[in-house]
Amino acid sequence: MPEPRRRLSSLGIVLALVLLAACGSPVSPPTSGVPTTAEAVPRISAEELKERLDAGSGVIVVDARPYEDYKVRHISDAISMPLAEVSARYDELPRTEEIVFY
């Protein structure tokens, strides 16, 4: 079976670089210039994410689906953080890396 990263293109998932403001979280993001609406959050394609991961660019991938779905299949090295838990687990996310939620 191919490694999950190799299946990114077939997943057809549009990936978003997400900051908590775009998730509708009540927690204020720690930096200025943060998008405040979902429309303002930059988006990348599955192919672009795969290129960044293959290049070792230090992208942190967060799987925001329910944990049951994560257990079935997920992108290699992705962190499971269901969307409902993001606000409570915000401090677990690194501040120095680009974070991509899917």
Q: Confidence band (pLDDT; 50, 70, 90) for 49?
A: very high
Closest CA to 100 of 33, 9, 22, 29: 22
- Which tokens hold the place of 75? 């992108």
Describe the strand order of the beta sheet including 99-101 as a list of residue ranges.
43-44, 15-17, 99-101, 60-63, 79-80
Task: Give this prediction's pTM.
Answer: 0.65
Specify the pLDDT at position 39. Answer: 86
User: What does pLDDT average to over the chain?
Assistant: 74
Q: How many domains does the chain have?
A: 1
Q: Give CA–CA dist 67/82, Å, rounded.
A: 6
* Segment 28-53 mean pLDDT: 79
Q: What is the CATH number of the domain that holds 60?
A: 3.40.250
What's the domain range around 13? 4-101
- Per-residue pLDDT tens for 82-100? 999 998 998 998 888 889 9
Q: Where are the alpha helices (DSSP H) in 30-93?
A: 46-54, 67-72, 86-89
Q: Give CA–CA dist 89/87, Å, rounded.
A: 6
